[in-house]
Amino acid sequence: MFKNIKAIRKFDPAARSIIEIILCYPGLHALWFHKIAHLLYVLKIPLFPRLINYFTRMFTGIDIHPGAKIANGIMIDHGQGVVIGETAIIEEGCLIYQGVTLGGTGKESGKRHPTLRRNVVVGAGAKILGNITIEENCRVGAGSVVMRNVPKGCTVVGIPGKIVKTATGVNDDTNNMLDHGEMPDPVAKVFSVVLEKIETQQKQINKLYEDLRKVDSMHIEDTKDDNEMIQNFINGDGI
């Protein structure tokens, strides 16, 4: 319990006091209720784990299946619309924003939901689907859809999720984890390359057009000279 409060103090600059965190953070409440539901689920007590899950979802807007394994020391920020599946695993230090789904891809049995290793940041609205592993110190951009394993320390963005930044060493610095403004934009990069190529090709076309005009001008002058010579010949010049 105290590790989760500590995580909120670490990640959320808006947290003014411990009392405020305890009373006003739905992500914290959802995790507390989940601990109870998960214990009952492990003890194989029927119905009650799902009832706790149901009322927690009504109260917080966060849907965590009782079977999910969630370590202490994580933060669900805002939390509205977060869905965490039955076989999902979340390790310590993870930061999850609103609208995130840790879901499955079908009706397969067994381990079918994602695993988040230590210090993973999942941006708002991201979907991580299937039995995949997001390794330590990774960042998943807001709105991304990830369906493949992500190596340690990488940044993933887009639909489907693509690795746009590889590991440069372990870094669990709080500022780095929260700095979503530094997320690379692969779409903007592609457009930049395309525009650069279009500009280069336009310059080449303009040069070819100028060269063609010069050739046409020379051809017109030659034709004019030939016409004058023929006309002079007809008029008896040179005979």
Confidence of residue 180 (pLDDT cuts 50, 70, 90): low
The more confidently predicted of residues 1 and 67 is 67
Q: How confident is the model at residue 223 (pLDDT cuts 50, 70, 90)?
A: low
Residue 79 banded pLDDT, cuts 50, 70, 90: confident
User: Are 90 and 118 a contacting pair, CB within 8 Å?
Assistant: no
Say which residue, 208 or 91, is predicted with more confidence. 91
Q: Can you give the residue ranges of every domain in the chain?
A: 2-184, 185-239
pLDDT band at 161, cuts 50/70/90?
Answer: confident
- Cis check: omega of the bond before 160, within 30 degrees of 0: yes
Span 2-184 CATH architecture: 3 Solenoid (2.160)
Is pLDDT larger for residue 47 or for residue 166? Answer: 47
Tell me which of 141 and 170 has the higher pLDDT: 141
pLDDT at 119: 92
Task: State yes or no: pLDDT of 121 exceeds 60.
Answer: yes
Is 170 a residue whose pLDDT tops 60? Answer: no
Cβ density class 20-45: b for 16+ within 10 Å, e for less = ebeeebbbbbbbebbeebbebbeeee
pTM as predicted: 0.71
For 134-146, how does the pLDDT look when each residue is reduced to its tens digit (9 = 90+)?
999 999 988 899 9
Cα–Cα distance for residue pair 103/88, rounded to 1 Å: 8
Whether residue 27 is predicted with pLDDT greater than 80 in this model: the reply is yes
**How much is the pLDDT for 179?**
59
Give the pLDDT confidence of 103-115 residue by residue, as tens digits: 988 777 789 999 9
